[in-house]
Amino acid sequence: MFYFTIIGTSDNPIYEAEFTTAKNTFQPEIKELNPYIVHSTLDIMEYLQWQRQPQLDINTSSGGFLRSRHSTQENSYLGKVDSFYGLAVSGFLTYGNIKFIMVHGNGTVDDTVTRSFYYEVYELYLKTLMNPFYKVNDPISNSAFDSKVRVLSKRLFV
């Protein structure tokens, strides 16, 4: 199960979704906590935002030198940025400093899958932004966007 949010430039949520299956659903008490977990991650994201090489100790301990070499090349996808009692949190920053944050209910972040998910969602977000009637930081209420993101979410469960 995953809880995915897009956070605007003034720390306002502009899109939220839960990706669950019949077997994997968030417990009601965790479900209520998810927005708070994301909120506390915002501070870490803002810390990483202006780092030349965004790196956290939790990344280096798990990934070895390949992981750290990678982060010198890219600073949009941040990988695992936070954890909360067995839940993992991953993050992505767009060029306009919109934050994509996801709570991974299974406690691990599969970098390849998560990265490609973020890229695809970023493309969808960009298409929303290209609409001249959409203002930055407005909630994205388009049902086509919602459906497309949910279709993309399926690859997370593989």
Partner 1 sequence: MAEQIINPSTTHSTKVAGQGYDYTIGPTQTLPNTSTATTSGTGFVVPTTGIYGQSLISKEKQVSLSAYAFLFQSIVSYHRDSSKNVQEIERKLNSSGYTIGMRLTEILNFRDSVPNKTGLTNMDSVAGTITNMKRRNLKILETLQYIHLTVWQYLFSRPSNDLVKSSERDNEYMIIDNEPTISQFIQHTSVQCESFTCGIIEGFLDMAGFPCHVTSHFVEETGFSNRTVYLIQFDKAVVERENLRQ
Map tokens 């030349």 to a residue. 52
* Residue 155 in the binding site for partner 1 (CB under 8 A): no
* Residue 106 in the binding site for partner 1 (CB under 8 A): no
Q: Based on CB atoms, which residue is closest to partner 1, 61 or 66?
A: 66
* Residue 122 in the binding site for partner 1 (CB under 8 A): yes
* Residue 93 in the binding site for partner 1 (CB under 8 A): yes
**Site residues (CB under 8 A) for partner 1, limited to 21-50:** 21-22, 25, 28, 31-32, 34-35, 49-50
Sign of CA pseudo-dihedral 114, 116, 119, 124: negative
* Residue 96 in the binding site for partner 1 (CB under 8 A): yes
Closest CA to 13 of 138, 102, 131, 126: 138
Map tokens 């982060």 to a residue. 71
Among 43, 64, 69, 136, binds partner 1 (CB under 8 A): 136
Closest CA to 48 of 76, 9, 20, 6: 76
Percentages helix, strand, coil for the chain, rounded to the nearest 5? Answer: 45, 20, 35
* Residue 119 in the binding site for partner 1 (CB under 8 A): yes
Q: Kindly state the number of chain residues that form the binding site for partner 1, as judged by CB under 8 A.
A: 59
Six token digits for residue 32: 């209520």
Closest CA to 54 of 35, 40, 41, 67: 67
* Residue 75 in the binding site for partner 1 (CB under 8 A): yes
Residues that bind partner 1 (CB under 8 A): 3, 5, 9, 13, 15-22, 25, 28, 31-32, 34-35, 49-50, 52, 73-77, 93-97, 116, 119-120, 122-124, 126-132, 136, 139-148, 150-151, 153-154
